[in-house]
Amino acid sequence: MEQLNVGILGWGTVGCGVIEILQSHREEIKKRLGRELVLKKVADIDLERPRPVSLPREILTRDAKAVIEDPDIDIVVELIGGIEPARSFIMKALERGKHVVTANKALLAHHGNELFDFARKHQRIIAYEASVAGGIPFIKSLREGLAANNIDTVFGILNGTANFILTRMRESGLTFQEALKEAQSRGYAEADPRLDIEGIDTAHKLAITAAIAFNMSIVFDSIYVEGISGIDPLDIQFGEEFGYVLKLLAIARLGEGGVELRVHPTFIPSGHVLAGVRGAYNAVHVHGDAVGHVMLYGLGAGMMPTGSAVVADLMDLARDIAQGIHCRLPALGSYELNPIPVKPMDEVVTCYYFRFSAVDQPGVLSKISGILGRNNISISAVIQKGRHIGGAVPIVMVTHEAVESSVRRAIEEIDRLDVVRAKTQLIRIENLPVNYSEV
C-alpha cells in the first residue's frame, strides 16, 4: 500500500484540527482511501506555544521551505491565512509539483484567478473546500453535486461571528458592542474583528461561491459590502414587528444585466429556514433550475469543522493522485468561464426598511413620503412608535421594490430636512418565499 505524504504550513487552530483528524482517524482514512495519509512535516514560526495536539519534534520546522521543498511531500496544506507569504508559498509548492489544499478565502478572493491558472499550468490542483462554509461540504455540492444545474441565486449566512452577534442582539437585546464583547470572550471573534463584522470575510466567501455557481472569474472588488457594526438593536426589534429577522447575508443573483453580488445586513422573513440559523452556524441556500431549492447547514468555522473540510480535500486529492490524475475538475467547475458583468449596486432593485428620526409634529410624514414618492419609492407599511412632542421619534417604514440609486437620492434629501434629526437607518429586505413547498 502506497502512502501519501502531507506537509502543513501553519500550526494554528485549523492546523490542529487537521492534525487531530489525521492522528485519530488514521485507520478509517486508510480504509476509505486504500492508502495512508502520512503527516510528514509541519511548519510554523512559533513551535513553543501550547496547543491542543502534540507532534513528534522531528516533523516540526520553523522553515516553510523545508515543507515546500521536501521531495517526499505530495500535498502541501496552506493554513497560514492572509495574502503573503501564503501566496508565494502556494506558488512555490505548485512549481515543485505539489498539490495544494487551502482554507484561505482572503487569498482566493484576491488572487484566486491567477493562482488557479498557475496551478493548471503546472498540472496541479488547489483544493479549497474549507475556504467557504467551513465543515459544510458546500464547494463539492455546488461544483459537483449541482453541476447539472444552471444556478441563479445563492443566499448565504457565511460568517459565524456576525451571526452569533446578531443572534445575541435579537434574542437578548444586547447592543452590538455588548454582543461583540461576548463573542470575543467566547472565542467566536478575533481581537481585531473587522474582517468578520464589516462583512469582508463574507464577501471573500461570496466571491468564491459566485465564481463556482455561475462559472465566472472571481471578482472581489465589485462586491458591495456593508457590515453589521452600525446595527442598533432597535432595528432588529422593529424588523421583528414586520415579521423579519436580521441576518448578514451574502447574496448572489443572476439576472438580466449581470449578477448582483452584495453582502449587507438583510431582513428576511422569520419563517424562512435561513432565519432559524442561530449562533455560530452557517447556511447556504442555492436555487438551481433543475434541483429547485437546496439548503446546506452546519458549522462554518472552528478547529474540527474546518479540519473536516481540509481532510476531505486531502482524501479527494489522494484519490486523484492514486489514479495518476492531474486535474479531474476545473478549479471553478468549468473549462470556460462566462464573462458576466457585476450589476452596479445603484441598479439593484429590492425592498427597504427605513428608520427615520423625525421631529414629532404634524406634516412630517407627509414631507418624507412626498420625497419617497417623487423618487418612485412606494411604501408598504409604516409604524410610528411613541410620542415625544417637539422631540425626535422613530418612524419606521417598509417599502415595495425600489431602485437603490433612487433610494439613496431620497434618503439624502430626507436627511437634509430640518425635521429629521439623525441619519436615517436603511436596511435592505429580501422577501424570500417562506416555504418553497406548494403546501
DSSP labels, 333-365: S-SS----PBPPGGG-EEEEEEEEEEEBSTTHH
**Has 14 been labeled as part of a binding site?**
yes
Given the complex with its own copies, which of 273 and 365 has the nearer CB atom? 273
Degrees (nearest 5) of the Cα angle 208, 214, 220?
Answer: 35
Question: Distance between alpha carbon 167 and the CA centroid of its chain, in Å?
Answer: 17
The total number of residues shown for the chain amounts to 439
Residue among 42, 136, 58, 98 at smallest CA distance from 314: 98
Question: Distance between alpha carbon 341 and the CA centroid of its chain, in Å?
Answer: 21
Given the complex with its own copies, which of 118 and 297 has the nearer CB atom? 297
Query: Could you give the CA distance from residue 89 to residue 80 in angstroms, rounded to a whole number?
Result: 10
Given the complex with its own copies, which of 332 and 420 has the nearer CB atom? 332
**Has 9 been labeled as part of a binding site?**
yes
Query: Could you give the CA distance from residue 361 to residue 374 in angstroms, rounded to a whole number?
Result: 22
C-alpha cell at 140: 463539492
Residue 22 CB, shortest distance to its own copies, in Å, is 9
**Has 15 been labeled as part of a binding site?**
yes
Residue 70 CB, shortest distance to its own copies, in Å, is 23
Residue 267 CB, shortest distance to its own copies, in Å, is 19
Question: Distance between alpha carbon 375 and the CA centroid of its chain, in Å?
Answer: 33
Query: Could you give the CA distance from residue 62 to residue 19 in angstroms, rounded to a whole number?
Result: 17
Residue 43 CB, shortest distance to its own copies, in Å, is 22
**Has 419 been labeled as part of a binding site?**
no
**Has 160 been labeled as part of a binding site?**
no
Does the CA dihedral 399-405-411-414 come out positive or negative? negative
Given the complex with its own copies, which of 150 and 177 has the nearer CB atom? 150
Given the complex with its own copies, which of 225 and 310 has the nearer CB atom? 310
CB 356 within 8 A of CB 371: no
Residue found under cell 462559472 = 215
**Has 370 been labeled as part of a binding site?**
no
CB 265 within 8 A of CB 176: no
Residue 259 CB, shortest distance to its own copies, in Å, is 16
Active-site choice (40, 98, 205, 247): 205
Question: Phi/psi of residue 42, each to 5°?
Answer: -130, 125
C-alpha cell at 134: 467551513
Given the complex with its own copies, which of 137 and 370 has the nearer CB atom? 137
**Has 240 been labeled as part of a binding site?**
no
Residue 42 CB, shortest distance to its own copies, in Å, is 18
DSSP labels, 8-32: EE--SHHHHHHHHHHHHTHHHHHHH
CB 154 within 8 A of CB 284: yes
Residue 14 CB, shortest distance to its own copies, in Å, is 12
**Has 135 been labeled as part of a binding site?**
no
**Quick check: is 205 catalytic?**
yes
Query: Could you give the CA distance from residue 45 to residue 367 in angstroms, rounded to a whole number?
Result: 62
Residue among 25, 169, 17 at smallest CA distance from 101: 17
Given the complex with its own copies, which of 279 and 370 has the nearer CB atom? 279
Binding residues for NADPH: 105
Q: Residues annotated in the binding site for L-homoserine, as ranges?
A: 190
Residue list for the binding site = 9-16, 105, 190
Residues with catalytic annotation? 205
Binding-site residues for NADP(+) sit at 9-16
